[in-house]
Amino acid sequence: MEAPHTSPAADAGTSLTLNSPSEMQELGRRIAKLLRPGDLVMLTGELGAGKTTLTRGLGEGLGVRGAVTSPTFVIARVHPSLTGGPALVHVDAYRLGGGLDEMEDLDLDVSLPESVVVVEWGEGKVEDLSEDRLQVLIDRVVGETDDDRRTVTITGIGSRWSGAGVEAL
């Protein structure tokens, strides 16, 4: 009997429970080991879920210059590599309502081949930039709480992520 065929379009996703911001940052460092020039990473989650904290870890793992902070008001920041690797382009699409048209004004399609592009709030806006992307969904407890737990689901979309090791994170 033949094994069931898994489509390269998307893996089933890997879910992790993280208990602190430092664990979120460490996850970013681990994900960075899988990234290469041309990769698109989409981050989705509530305000305060940890998207920028994860991106800070990505920046550390990629060895980029500059403090990774939220680009909410500047829309995008470029962090050049200090190690000869890809630059990190960090985009906050929260204030962009027009989808890909507004994203095209940022020239992300030009940056994508030689950089790692991370887009916060990109769902419904940047999927057309690449057939291949890493989707990261961060769920947190909502309401008045000091609970730092997060459930992070990482899903590789497209053939680039087939067998790329996401499940080992």
User: Is 18 in contact with 149 (CB distance < 8 Å)?
Assistant: yes
- Torsion angle of the four alpha carbons 34, 103, 120, 74, in this order, in degrees rounded to the nearest 10: 110
111-164 pLDDT tens trace: 678 899 999 988 887 888 889 999 999 999 877 777 889 999 999 999 999 988
Length of the chain: 169
| Residue 164 structure tokens | 């790329």
* Residue 31 pLDDT: 97
The yes-or-no verdict on residue 2 having pLDDT over 70 is: no
C-alpha span between 135 and 13 (Å, rounded): 9
Average pLDDT over residues 54-76: 89
pLDDT, position 5: 33
State the pTM of this model.
0.84
* Helix runs in 67-158, H state only: 100-104, 108-111
Q: What angle do CA 41, 47, 93 make, to 5 degrees?
A: 45
Q: What is the mean pLDDT of residues 23-34?
A: 97
Confidence of residue 49 (pLDDT cuts 50, 70, 90): very high
Average pLDDT of 64-69? 92
> What sign for the dihedral angle of Cα 126, 83, 154, 145?
negative
